[in-house]
Chains A and B, each alone.
Chain A
Amino acid sequence: MADITTTAPRAVTNPRATLQDLLPKLVLAPSFAVILIFVYGFIIFTAFLSFSGSKLLPDFSTWVGFGNYVRLFNHPNWITALKNLAIFSVLYIVVCSFIGLALAIFLDQKIRGEGFLRPIYLYPMALSFIVTGVAWKWFLDPGIGLEHVMQSWGWESFSFRWIKEGQMAIYTIVIAAVWQSSGFVMAMFLAGLRGVDNEIIKAAQIDGASTLTIYRRIIIPLMRPVFLSAFVVLAHLAIKSYDLVVAMTDGGPGTATWTPALFMQKFTFGRNEMGMGAASAIIMMMMIFTIIVPYLYSELGGKKK
């Protein structure tokens, strides 16, 4: 092969050019086909399902139009799931960004032991949400966890039983999720902070700006792309939140902590309502698209300019 390419006369370079042209396409073709079928193909399949009257198995003989969507938005559990998603995603994104930024700024003060502290904050991210969920479920359980320990240490009136209260249980899931993801957001901000041009800061210092002002007026505004990336990563994690909820409360007490992903799984596989499950999956996909598409547009569009 090498012989041919090195000694080939000029007239034969044409097929060689064609090969060079084709090779990347050939290499990419299998993965492209796989993605086409298993991602986009199944999205279309799910969309079809959501308009069908499928119950136990996919069934394309009965069409119900938007019937599944109407039933979905009339179902109290779906409304609960949407409310929980709103509470969870807002708190999760805001608190994670705030704690992540604060930790990153503190770590960026050229303190001793940074190399030791940084992984400590980052390690929770290495756990799966199932592990996080089980650990926090035990930790927050009043019978064996925090409340029990505090009371056995003599603080008899201590009470922290949110995980057992329908109104408050969703906030315990926020706590666990924030614990898990804050370190990751911190790492993103830390990378951003390290990328800030020192010249700008020095210029500000010469102009007599206080440290607080430098952070407030210069550095944090410079973090805008990091905020955007963190938002997109956290928002899609929030919409997909399933494993953490299953491990911590499995939707309970009652139906208090249902989320859209939990709804989708329970209706499709537990309740033999495949049509409604598919409808909820399509709604979730649309929610994710409304976040991801503008982001991709601004990212890719920005590079072309």
Chain B
Amino acid sequence: MRKFLMSTAAVAALFAAPMPMAHAEDSVEVLHWWTSGGEAAALDVLKKNLESQGVTWKDMPVAGGGGEAAMTALRARVTAGDPPTAVQALGFDITDWANQGVVGDLGEVADKEGWDKVVPAALQNFAKHDGKWIAAPVNVHSTNWVWISKKALDAAGGKAPETWDELVAVLDKMQANGITPLGHGGQAWQDATIFDAVVLSLGTDFYKSSMIDLDPAALGGDKMVEAFDRMAKLKSYVDKDFSGRDWNLASAMVIEGKAGMQMMGDWAKGEFLKAGQKPGTDFVCIRFPGTQGAVTFNSDMFMMFKVGDDKKKAQMQMAADIEDPAFQSSFNVVKGSVPARTDVPDTAFDDCGKKGIKDLAEASTGGKLFGSMAHGYAAPAAVKNALYDVVTRHFNGEIDSKAAAKALVEAVAAAKG
């Protein structure tokens, strides 16, 4: 019966995913969701590099849902026993797949090129499984950024806030100046992105014990109540139509001067640059007040699946090309993130990019580089979404801070069960 069930599932999977044609010698099939203009252009760099080395690139883009649709397509392919060569993946999704025993081993490239030394240890926690390299990190996004309109900041005193109290003072002044102080989109992951930074601003140890170790005492403690109080304070600075807005529209509000600042990962920089704005003169990038020196990251990686020997050579070639410093630099300049290895020169990056590279190296050596909860690098999907539920319910005023801290403990316990 079980065999029958599995085979029917496989049949269904075949219908769900396009059947791959017979593979040519030296080709890679890549499942990803980088389909928007800038992202596709960045990925094209890798494609060209591989093709110049005689490896054909079979594109399998599945757009939508921040990779959720791609993961659903992947499920079908793996169930059918025919996984793609490489798959763009994030955080605990990689660990989840590794636990299924379907991922490959990049050991030979990683050892030859010395990835252990140049990739930050916090990233290795995800890119390695049981001591084996299974994924090649492409970039590092950090999420505890604040993007401030220079004009709005000048009108509010001109000094970038460095502490929570200074931040509140600047936000108050912006409100008095008649603009929306905080440009924000009310979607669960955006609320959670701010929550990441707020928790981090209450101490790196607190972030680690609550978001990564999921310690019930930290999740339900007084400090967490304070974190939720800060969230409620920030909520008071968003406009009334924030609910459901996409993040790039919130960026646009800051670009147009309708809003003072946005708290968002460094992909927001791309929106400012596309609008012709320059870091330092039109907008200012700072770490969330109180988090300078620490970084919450999310990193795009290409997870490599177990493939036949005929495809292995191309897979290794692709992994080597991803970690090539020249590619890391050119890709990340386009994408707005910073390189996943710490020995890449920062000459091609703008001021915010340079600051990002410096902050990452500093946080990595100081042990203050943490996975972002909001982006699936602190806890598995089930726990992450349970945290989302509480954060977004609190942010939308359904529960107060005390109840939220209590609900956080319960939600995490339920999701782990």
* Closest Cβ neighbor of A61 among chain B residues: B2
* Closest Cβ neighbor of A248 among chain B residues: B244
Assess whether B241 is in contact with A143, with CB atoms less than 8 Å apart: yes
**Shortest distance in angstroms between B92's beta carbon and chain A's nearest beta carbon?**
9
Assess whether A45 is in contact with B9, with CB atoms less than 8 Å apart: yes
Assess whether A250 is in contact with B244, with CB atoms less than 8 Å apart: yes
Contact check: which of A41, A77, A254 meets B396 at CB < 8 Å?
A254
Assess whether B8 is in contact with A42, with CB atoms less than 8 Å apart: yes
- Give Cα A164 to B149, complex, Å: 27
Assess whether B8 is in contact with A255, with CB atoms less than 8 Å apart: no
- Chain A neighbourhood of B188, CB < 8 A: 252, 254
- Give Cα A255 to B407, complex, Å: 14
Assess whether A48 is in contact with B186, with CB atoms less than 8 Å apart: no
Chain A, interface SS category:
loop
Assess whether A255 is in contact with B392, with CB atoms less than 8 Å apart: yes
- Give Cα A45 to B12, complex, Å: 12
Q: What mask results when residues 53 to 67 of chain A are scored 1 for a CB within 8 Å of chain B, else 0? A: 001111010000000
Chain B, interface SS category:
helix
**Shortest distance in angstroms between B390's beta carbon and chain A's nearest beta carbon?**
9
Contact check: which of B96, B187, B389, B414 meets A272 at CB < 8 Å?
B96
- Chain B neighbourhood of A45, CB < 8 A: 5, 8-9
- Chain B neighbourhood of A75, CB < 8 A: 414
Given A57-B75, A256-B396, also A164-B243 (CB < 8 A): yes
Given A45-B9, A71-B414, A77-B389, also A253-B382 (CB < 8 A): no
Assess whether A166 is in contact with B414, with CB atoms less than 8 Å apart: no
Q: Chain B interface: which size bin?
A: 35 or more
- Chain B neighbourhood of A48, CB < 8 A: 5
A225 contacts chain B at the CB level, 8 A cutoff: no
Beyond A269-B71, A269-B75, 15 extra complex contacts between A and B, CB < 8 Å:
A38-B12, A55-B96, A56-B97, A57-B78, A57-B100, A60-B5, A137-B244, A161-B240, A163-B243, A164-B240, A164-B241, A253-B243, A254-B395, A254-B398, A256-B396
Q: Can you list 12 residue pairs at the A/B interface with Cβ under 8 Å? A: A41-B8, A55-B382, A74-B414, A77-B389, A142-B240, A161-B240, A250-B244, A252-B244, A252-B396, A255-B393, A272-B96, A273-B382
Residues on A close to B: CB < 8 A?
A: 37-38, 41-42, 45, 48, 55-58, 60, 71, 74-77, 137, 141-143, 161, 163-164, 166, 249-250, 252-256, 266, 269-273
Residues on B close to A: CB < 8 A?
A: 2, 5-6, 8-9, 12, 65, 68, 71-72, 75, 78-79, 96-97, 99-100, 186-188, 240-241, 243-244, 380-382, 385, 389, 392-393, 395-398, 407, 411, 414, 417
